[in-house]
Amino acid sequence: MTPDSIDFQIMWNRLIAVVEEQATTLIRTAFSTSVREAGDLSAGLFDRQGRMMAQAVTGTPGHVNAMAESVGHFIAGIGAQNIHEGDVYLTNDPWMGTGHLHDITVVTPVFRRGLLIGFFAATAHVVDIGGRGFGPDGREVYEEGLLIPISKFAERGVVNDMLIRIVRANVRTPDQTVGDLYSLAACNAAGDRRLQAMLDEFGIDDLDALSEFILTASRRATEAAIAAVPPGHYRNTMTVDGFEAPVEMVVTLQAEGSRIVADFTGTSGMSSFGVNVPEVYTRAYACYALKCAIAPEVPNNAGSLAPFVISAPEGSILAARRPAPVSVRHVLGHLVPDVVLGALHRSMPGTVPAEGASALWNIQISARPLDPHSGLPPAEILMFNSGGTGARPRLDGLSATAFPSGVSTMSVEATEHVGPIIVWRKDLRPNSGGAGTLRGGLGQVIEIGAREGYALWFNAMFDRVDHPARGREGGQPGAPGRVELADGTPLRSKGRQAIPAGQRLRLSLPGGGGYGAPSGRDPKALAADLEAGLIDAVSAARDYGQVPNKG
């Protein structure tokens, strides 16, 4: 039987269930809290040419869209003649994978009746990969941890014991890191089982025709959406904190018929520290921003990504060259959508939100016993935290919500379970959302201290401290972030620092920008904000010119 378009549509929908089970398997079996609690991962199915056919909804755009390029690197790196049934491949090369060493991408070839028909791929963030640890202080990628080139994790079903031994010898959490490698392999195997069952049901033995149907339909739908964008050139600039100096992010969008070209010429050069971004990650988040605004209903795959052409000058901070340090490439990478959407706003007003906190306020904590002879174990703890999103053209911003990454925050209970820390405070930060007709989302305040017998070091990797999120169409900026001890002593927003014994770290996360003039805010909405404690009377009078009656 030859499948028709209805059959292909049904199979397309079924593929989403297949890759969701793939992602769910990874979450359920992962060792790292970043995966099982926060969903910092990606999972997808690729055809035999390495083109992404389907991706799991669970996951981050940076992982998914970067992984969409990486499978091609695996095919070239392994070589077609060396791809065998039972193989599993992996790498964490930032320029071949998803941008930094902490992300491990695993690719598994799919065979049916002895013939290669495609690949499953998955990416996960591991808590430790050796080196300096997850932080921006490195001066070269060599300092940032163990770089595994494209390698065989397993060949014909036999795991590469030497590779496992090398990983175990180079990381602080060997059981956890190696466990995550096996979890990645297991999730691809789960996807393979479900795919084979689907192919049995439909009586087909390859993915070629289905892939062409999916990618062609997706590309045509995306091109039709792009054609509705007014043609022209649209430029935007945004200054962000950077590390040793502020960073100027510049983009020019060119809408030309059925494609959008985004050029980051004019962006600052590379940093001496690990905030640099490999171009693959820049492309991932620039594509995501454009697709969200222009073609949000079209499934994300190689076909729908193809009409977006993204480039940054080699050697800029958004197209870092080897061996630049790139450990916290997400800090600037997560800000890419803000600068892109700002340019798109000039073409499509009333469509995109104001700027938000955007970059995750990740924090890596190293807990070490005060007495090295106490027998207390050391620990590495990773927390993901989010500030507020920018207000939208018709809705307020979201508070303490990760955009554009979409990851969840680990629960306090899960975080305290994996290491000797106490999270003393975690609540919304009043008055942090930018004032406007639509208010920006609020940040949050978090206080962390050590349990008895431990000292804490932390790697700061925070932005929007010196350059807060800007409002749009007359909306005011969100509150800038702050990094300090609980007694008010200021700390640096980037780099490794100690939390003195008996002290607590306090993080005040930034808020999102407002949308529209504050004078246009509905008095009932303002009263509700005051009643809920999202703003106080002083801020209401200062920013909105009124103090509504709570009753």
What is the DSSP annotation of 527-549?
HHHHHHTSS-HHHIIIIIS----
pLDDT at 1 over 60: no
Query: What are the tokens at 199?
Result: 């192919």
CA distance 386 to 274: 20
Both structure tokens of 333? 């990478």
Q: Is the pLDDT of residue 256 over 90?
A: no
pLDDT at res. 550: 56
pLDDT value of residue 121: 97
The per-residue pLDDT for 503 is 95
CA–CA separation, 388 and 391 (whole Å): 9
- What DSSP element (H or E) covers 18? helix 5-29
Check residue 269 and give its pLDDT: 98
Residues 485/506, Cβ–Cβ less than 8 Å: yes
| Token pair of 527 as six digits | 């009263």
CA distance 279 to 342: 20
Report the distance separating Cα 506 and Cα 491, nearest Å: 10
Identify residue 260 by its one-letter amino acid code.
Answer: I
User: Is pLDDT above 80 for 4?
Assistant: no
* Mean pLDDT of the 24-28 span: 95
289: which 2 tokens?
A: 């921003």
Q: What average pLDDT does this structure show over 149-173?
A: 97
Please give the mean pLDDT across all residues of the chain.
Answer: 95
R_g over Cα of the chain: 24
d(CA 341, CA 42): 24
Average pLDDT over residues 477-502: 96
Distance CA 325, CA 313 (A): 17
Predicted TM-score of the model (pTM): 0.95
Q: Does pLDDT of 290 surpass 60? A: yes
Confidence band (pLDDT; 50, 70, 90) for 548? low
Starting at the edge strand found earlier in the chain, the sheet holding 247-256 runs 232-240, 247-256, 259-263, 308-311
pLDDT for 28 beyond 80: yes
In one-letter notation, the amino acid at residue 406 is G
How confident is the model at residue 336, as a pLDDT?
98
Please state, in angstroms and rounded to a whole number, the distance separating the CA atoms of residues 111 and 18.
16
3-state secondary structure of 451: coil
pLDDT number for residue 313: 97
pLDDT at residue 251 is higher than 70: yes
Q: Name the band, by pLDDT with cuts 50, 70 and 90, for residue 58.
A: confident
**pLDDT, mean of residues 143-158:** 98
pLDDT digits over 359-409, tens only? Answer: 999 999 999 999 988 989 999 999 999 999 999 999 999 999 999 999 888
Report the pLDDT value the prediction gives residue 549, as an integer from 0 to 100. Answer: 66
How far lies 480's CA from each of 232, 425, 434, 440, in Å?
34, 19, 10, 12
The sign one gets for the Cα dihedral 59, 357, 271, 327 is: negative
Q: Please give the span between the terminal C-alpha atoms of the chain, in angstroms, as a whole number.
A: 69
How far is Cα 17 from Cα 40, in angstroms, rounded to an integer? 19
Q: What is the pLDDT of residues 508-518, one digit of tens each?
A: 999 999 999 99
CA angle 158/161/162 to nearest 5° reads 135
From 414, 266, 276, 378, select the one nearest 332 (Cα to Cα).
276
Strands 308-311 and 444-450: what pairing? unpaired
Separation CA 480–CA 468 (nearest Å): 5
Rounded to an integer, the average pLDDT of 319-338 is 97
Give mean pLDDT, residues 537-550: 84
- Predicted pLDDT at 2: 61
Q: How many helices (H) and strands (E) does the chain have?
A: 13, 19
Tokens for 347, please give them. 């073409």
- pLDDT band at residue 37 using 50, 70 and 90 as cut-offs: confident
